[in-house]
Structure 1
Amino acid sequence: MNIGLVGYGKMGKAIEQILIERGHTVSKIINEDNPEEIADIKPENTDVVIEFTGPDSAFDNITSVINNDVPVVSGSTGWLDRFDEVKALVGSGKAAFFYASNFSLGVNIFFKLNEFLAKMMNGRGYDSSMVEIHHTQKLDAPSGTAITLAEGMMKGLEEKTGWVNESTKAEDKIGIVSERIENVPGTHDVQYDSEVDTIKISHVAHSRKGFALGAVLAAEFLAGKKGMFGMDDLLQL
């Protein structure tokens, strides 16, 4: 497959390595030095684009590629207030879109475990909270993975109506503490506290390789498809 990369930071480079290992060709690399060349990505030269950029550029990158009828896999976070616009664009017959806040197989299993635990904890007198830790280059807080975890918790916790990115206790909100530490790929701790004990589940990433492999698997899955997809579709969870 011919796969384009939009975003060429540490994640983009990790994805490039796995693409080459799996026999794919990198058709185009777009970064901050050549953003205008994204218009050159077309079906005749690119089968799928993998996009990992920042909150300020992700939406424009994604829609530019989709409008050229090229499928997009994206792991960018911090832009999801415009997600419905991308969904409508794809629904109008444009190329497919695959989104995940986290492409790690382990994290997506963790998502399901998190939802199951929240249902078990509902109404049992525990207060829920979360800590997420990432590298200092991560600009958005909380992480997209933390937001997905919070949304999963709210499915099971009837008393929780949202989340707040702070450590302050709020009866109807899940408190998410965000820490940024050098060279931390990603850690997420979900915790339930009562007067008598604490229950905690954690996911700790050891490198970016798991995220990069998941993104490449998503690109292989997306080729030739139309519509909206996510990790549940890829992994059949």
Structure 2
Amino acid sequence: MKLALLGFGKMGKTIEKLALSKGHTIVYKSMSSASEGILTEADVAIEFSNPESAVSNITKCFDQDIPVVCGTTGWLSDYDEVIKLCKRRNGSFIYASNFSVGVNLFFKLNSELAKLMQPWETYEVAIEEIHHTEKKDAPSGTAITIAEGIVPFQNKTGWTLEEASEEAIKIIPKRIDDVKGTHTVSYTSAIDTIKITHEAHSRDGFAKGAILAAEWLQQKKGVFTMKDVLGI
């Protein structure tokens, strides 16, 4: 598979290393100020840039009929327009707030737990997420996805960074040096606390999941998620 890497920071470099180890080829790389290679040679583009560049990178690929796997967060106010454009261009697109297989299994577990906890109104739900100090957006896209999996079962309308309320789930973001990503969902009552946690030990899980998604997306048309990739 010939890959384009749009964004070549820590994630891009990890994806390159693992993709090459699997026998794939990197035909194009773009950084904030430069690029190398030929984008149109790519079978699939993997986009891990920044919120300011994501939409233009995705659009450029749709214009060249290149499938896109996007893991950049912080740009989702434009998500609906990007999906419309993908459909108009008969393109191929997967967005995930987190491509780690383990995290996507955690998303499923989170929804199942939220459903199980629905009748037990004495428990207050909260989400804590911890990332490295270089992460720009807060809360993380992963934490938002976790909240969205809980909302339908808790009579909530969304999430908040302020104090929890009857309408919103509280998300607590923390930034600590060299933390790859830890997410905890807790249900707390006066009697006890129930917690589920996913802790990433390296970036390899995110990179492997993105490569898996790119392999899966080849020769397909439409808008997909990691649920489609993993069959869950």
Give the Cα separation in 2 of the matches to 1:169 and 1:27: 47
In structure 1, the partner of 2:84 is 88
Paired with 2:211 and 2:164, the residues of 1 have a C-alpha distance of: 39
1:123, 1:150 → 2: CA distance? 18
Which of residues 192, 197, 215 is equivalent to 2:192? 197
In 1: Cα distance, 2:164 partner to 2:144 partner: 17
Aligned counterpart for 2:228 among listed residues 230, 233, 237: 233
Distance in 2, matches of 1:194 and 1:217, equals 40
Provide the C-alpha distance between the structure 1 equivalents of 2:25 and 2:87, rounded to a whole number of angstroms. 29
Tell me if structure 1 keeps the 8 A contact 2:180–2:201.
yes
How far is 1:8 from its partner? 0.6
Establish whether residue 170 from structure 1 lines up as the match of residue 165 from structure 2: yes
Contact 2:185 2:196 in 1 (8 A): yes
Indicate conservation of the 8 Å contact 2:63/2:89, yes or no. no
Decide which of 127, 136, 158 is 2:124's aligned counterpart: 127
Note the C-alpha offset of 1:82: 0.9
Measured on the aligned residues, the alpha-carbon RMSD in Å equals 1.3
In the TM superposition, residue 171 of structure 1 has moved relative to its aligned partner by 2.0
Unaligned runs of 5+ in 1: none
Deviations 1:82-105 (A, max 9, x none): 111111111113320111111111
Tell me the number of residue pairs that the alignment of Structure 1 and Structure 2 aligns. Answer: 231
Residue 53 of structure 1: CA displacement?
1.1
- Answering whether residue 123 of structure 2 is matched by residue 118 of structure 1, we say no
Aligned-residue offset at 1:41? 1.9
- Once residues 94 and 69 of structure 1 are traced to their aligned partners in structure 2, the CA distance between those partners, rounded to angstroms, is 8
Identity of aligned residues (%): 52
Pick from 183, 201, 207: which aligns with 2:202? 207
Q: Distance in 1 between matches of 2:90 and 2:49?
A: 21
Q: Which runs of 5+ in 2 are unaligned?
A: none
In the alignment, the residues of structure 1 paired with residue 60 and residue 158 of structure 2 have an alpha-carbon distance, to the nearest angstrom, of 32
Partner residue in 1 for 2:45 = 49
Corresponding residue SS for 2:94: strand
Q: Cα distance, 1:169 vs. partner?
A: 2.5
1:68 aligns with 2:69: no
Task: Note the C-alpha offset of 1:109.
Answer: 0.7
Counterpart in the other structure of 1:144: 141
